[in-house]
Amino acid sequence: SEPRMDGIEVVKKIGHGSYGSIWLVRRSSNKKNLVLKCVELVHCNQQEVEAARQEVLLLSVLKHPNIVSYKGSFELDCRLHLLMAYCEGGDLSTRIKLQHGSLFPEQKIIRWFIQITMALQYLHVHNVLHRDLKSQNIFLTRSGLIKLGDFGIARILNSSVDMATTMIGTPSYMSPELFAGLPYNYKSDIWALGCLLYELATLKHPFPVRDMSSLIYRIYSGKVERISSHYSKDLQYLVRSLMTCNVEHRPNTSWILHQPFIRRHILVFL
C-alpha cells in the first residue's frame, strides 16, 4: 500500500523490488522530488531486516558525486523508509532497451564507465563491496551523470556475515570464483563491472542465463562473443581484461583509471 508520512506527498510508484517498493515522492515544503524506498519489515526474516538496515547505514555515510545521495530515513509502522535523490534519467538497463539495438557511441560508453569505476574505486578504498553491480542498479540524472545505487546487499569487508556460503547477485553477472564457492571479493565487483561494460557495448548480457550448468561452462571456457569491431582496440582489450577468469590477473579500479586511453577521456571531460 501507499506509504504515508508528514511533509511528503506521494507522486507515483516507480518500481517494485525484491524486498520493497520504490516511490517518487515530493517534499511539500519545497516541492522537490525524491525517491522513497520502502521495505515492509514484517515480511522479512531477521537476515533481511539486517540487510535493509545495512543499506540505509551504508548509503548515509557514502558520499561521492557518482553515488546516489542519501536524504534521510526512518522506521514507522514496521516499515523502513529510505529517502534519496531522484535520478530523472532512470536506470541504465531501461536506457539500454530504449536503444532498440542501435549501439552507443564509444565516447558515451567510456564516460559512463569512468564514472561507474570512480564510484567503485571510492567504495573499494573504503572497504565496501557493492556485490550487485548491474545496469538496473545504475541511475542517470537529468543531465546524464551516473549515480550508482541499490546498496541492498553491499557489505563492508571483514564484517561478521559469512559471505562464502551465500549465493548473491545476478547469476549472469556472477564471477567464476563465486561459482567455485569462494567468497565475494573486490575482484568479483570488477568482473561485474566488465559484464556491465560488455552490456553497454553490445546491449546484451555477456552470459544470458538459460540453465546454470551451461552458464558455468561458458564463463569458464571464456566463450564470450566479441564486442563490435566498430569500437576501438582499447575498448575491446578493456572488456577482455575485466572479464579475466583468474582473480589474480583481473585488474583493480586503480589499474583501470590509469590506462592511458581512459586517462585521455578523463582529461577531455573534466
Q: Could you list the active site residues?
A: 132
44, three cell numbers = 522479512
Toward Mg ion, which CB reaches closer, 54 or 137? 137
Annotation-wise, does 37 bind a ligand? yes
Among 21, 137, 202, 244, binds Mg ion (CB under 5 A): 137
Interface with ligand ADP includes 171 (CB under 6 A)?
A: no
Residues 49-88, one symbol each (x = binds Mg ion by CB under 5 A, - = not), give: ----------------------------------------
Toward ligand ADP, which CB reaches closer, 87 or 197? 87
Using CB under 5 A, which of the segments 50-58, 135-143, 156-164, 221-229 binds Mg ion? 135-143
**Widest Cα–Cα separation across the chain:** 57
Backbone angles phi and psi of 204, in degrees to 5? -135, 155
Query: Residue 72 touches which of ligand ADP, Mg ion, none (CB < 5 to 8 A by kind)?
Result: none
Query: Residue 68 touches which of ligand ADP, Mg ion, none (CB < 5 to 8 A by kind)?
Result: ligand ADP
Question: In angstroms, how far is CA 135 from the centroid of its own chain?
Answer: 6
CA dist 172 to 57, 64, 101, 165, 205, Å? 28, 27, 20, 18, 7
Half-sphere exposure of 60 (CA within 13 A, CB side): 12
Residues 6+ apart with CB under 8 A from 35: 14, 22, 23, 24, 25, 83, 84, 85, 86, 87
**In angstroms, rounded to a whole number, what is the distance separating the alpha carbons of residues 128 and 158?**
10
223, three cell numbers = 566463450
13, three cell numbers = 510508484
Interface with ligand ADP includes 177 (CB under 6 A)?
A: no
Closest residue to ligand ADP, judged by C-beta, is 17
**In angstroms, rounded to a whole number, what is the distance separating the alpha carbons of residues 133 and 135?**
7
Interface with ligand ADP includes 149 (CB under 6 A)?
A: yes
Q: Minimum distance between the CB of residue 12 and ligand ADP, rounded to whole angstroms?
A: 12
Q: Minimum distance between the CB of residue 244 and Mg ion, rounded to whole angstroms?
A: 26
Give the binding site for Mg ion (CB under 5 A): 137, 150
Give the binding site for ligand ADP (CB under 6 A): 14-15, 17-18, 22, 35, 37, 68, 84-87, 90-91, 136-137, 139, 149-150, 152
